[in-house]
Amino acid sequence: MIICHCQSITDHDINAAIDWMRAADADALITPGKIYHALGKAADCGGCMPLFLSTMRQNDNLEVPMHLRTLRRRSQERTNTG
């Protein structure tokens, strides 16, 4: 199914890019911009973003690695203590 009509990106393309990025780097934070870049494309109108993000969220490899999930809280704790 076409997800991004401006760049002709399908759900298969998005899932393949996520799976490839996760296989290459277990700690990678995967964003729409990185997916566009991996596919050699760039977003244009942005109208596909809700469906693009929804497609990304359905991929089990999208999860943020467990040890990176608390970075914001740890950073705030450091700021508050000092």
Task: Identify which of residues 7 and 59 has a Cβ nearer to ligand FES in the complex.
Answer: 7
* Pair 10, 2: CB distance under 8 Å: yes
Measured CA to CA, the distance from residue 17 to residue 21 in angstroms comes to 6
6 touches ligand FES (CB under 6 A): yes
Q: Which is nearer to ligand FES, 21 or 55 (CB)?
A: 55
By CB under 6 A, residue 44 contacts ligand FES: yes
Write out the H or E segment, with its range, that includes residue 9. strand 9-10
Where do contacts with ligand FES occur on this chain (CB under 6 A)? 4-7, 43-48
